Amino acid sequence: MQCTNKLKQMGLAVQNYHDVHNSLPAGCPWLPVGVSVQFTLFPYLEKKSNSDTLLSSGGWEQMTIADFRCPSDSTVPSRPDVCNYVICYADWSELPANSNQLGNANRTKWGPLKNFRSAIVGGPYWRGDFSSINDGLSNTIVFSERCVGPGGNLRMVKVGVAYGNSLDVTVPLSNGDTKCDAIPKTCLDSRNGNDYKSGINTCDIGGFMWHRGAAACTGFNTILAPNAPSCYNPNNPGHSGNLSGDFWDRYLGSAGSFHSGGVNAVRYDGSVQFFTETINCGDPSVSPPNSGASPYGIWGALGSINGGETITF
């Protein structure tokens, strides 16, 4: 119930932001830094004085934000920058992450990488409003959960993030940077029960650095089911634009929690629902789309803003 209430407040903060700006908060704006949606919503979570101070003086990594912590994830590594509530990147796993590290010349190459599957996130050139959510506010998820405990056990699938070239899950884009070639099934196959397979490297970027707009830090996809693996490839040579600073761009992240059997999530209309880890996720052997109906079942349909899917529970 505490978790549900916190997610409800996050959803209301998005609505309040929209009322003021007639747009949704960007996940990685150009200036002043590549901050997260969570950070941008500070003034709408009664945190305006904190956000003003941080914008002027820094210090993000030193702050623990109670609003972003789920009570079920009680045993976490000894670092303050935890974020259990992550933004929905829909069913598209290619996002520019480090906008503050990119020069003007490289920014011009970002156009095709806009994530039109999500109304919030997608780089500095795309930020939608409620009218862009054609599937309906009540049919589209905006926030869900991400595990970071217990005690930093990164071998646990819903805690750690699998990485390395051997995964082959985040590969360069093709077709003029308009198609994401990640194959979710490869990431799904990195698990063995509740843990990652032996030989799979893991790291702890998921659910940390709550202030960062990078997908791997503060986002998730509605591709693989809740409590499924999360993967990225840090040694990827980059997409055809050869952008610098795209270290965490191609991230295939799953929602996860220590609630029994699934996760809570809040929709754009502010309603919160529990989604089980057995929810229909369609065909993981299909690459993420950039238009049309999601191939990832009900879960994918709940993430996309304009897939035109009919969602039935």
CA distance 207 to 5: 19
Which residues constitute the domain of residue 111? Answer: 2-303
Q: For the segment 32-84, what is each residue's pLDDT rounded down to a tens digit?
A: 456 788 888 888 887 666 667 766 666 666 778 888 999 998 766 667 888 99
Q: For the segment 17-28, what is each residue's pLDDT rounded down to a tens digit?
A: 999 999 888 766
Backbone torsions φ then ψ of 128, nearest 5 degrees = -85, -170
Give residue 31's pLDDT. 45
In a domain, 32, yes or no: yes
In a domain, 66, yes or no: yes
In a domain, 295, yes or no: yes
In a domain, 309, yes or no: no
The answer to whether 255 and 265 have CB atoms below 8 angstroms apart is yes
The answer to whether 227 and 164 have CB atoms below 8 angstroms apart is no
In a domain, 254, yes or no: yes
| Total domain count, the chain | 1
pTM equals 0.87
